Amino acid sequence: MKLVLLPHRLLLAEVETLPQGALEAPFFALVQVDGHRSVVLPESLVPEGVNAEGPFRALAFVGPLPIEMIGVLGRVGSILAEVGVSIFAYSAFETDYILVRESYLQLAIRTLKEVNYEVETSPSDTLQ
C-alpha cells in the first residue's frame, strides 16, 4: 500500500467561525458536534489566539480505497502506536488521511517503510 506525504503544515484548532480562506485551502477538514467546531487547516490560515495543536503533517493513502475495505487505518495506527507515534485520521470519499505530529514524522515514515509500506515524499519536504 502506498501513502503520499502532503506538503502542508497543519494545525487542529477550535474555532467559532470558519477562518477566511478555509474553503479554498489545499487541506481543510471540519467536524462540528453540539456547537463545538474543530478544523484542520494549514497553519497560515489558523487565526492567532485560538486553541490549536500541531503542527501536523498528513499522509494520504493512494486511492481510491473502497468504502468496504477493512482495517486500513487500524493496521497503520497499530504499527505506529508500537513505536509511540499517535495519529488522528480523516476519511474522505475516495481515501483516508493520517495526521502525525511533525516532530514524529520521520519516525512514522521510517517505521511504515520498514513494514513494506511505500511512502512518497518530495525532495522539498523537510523531515525533522
What is the rounded distance in angstroms from the CA atom of residue 80 to the CA atom of residue 106?
12
What is the rounded distance in angstroms from the CA atom of residue 55 to the CA atom of residue 42?
9
On whether residue 126 sits in a domain, the answer given is no
Domain count, the chain: 1
What is the rounded distance in angstroms from the CA atom of residue 49 to the CA atom of residue 43?
13
pTM, two decimal places: 0.87
| Mean pLDDT for back-to-back runs of 10 residues, the chain (128 residues) | 94 94 95 94 95 96 71 88 95 88 97 95 68
**Which residue, 111, 109, 90, is CA-closest to 99?**
90
CATH code of the domain covering residue 38: 3.30.2130.10
On whether residue 79 sits in a domain, the answer given is yes
List phi, psi (to 5°) of 60.
-105, 130
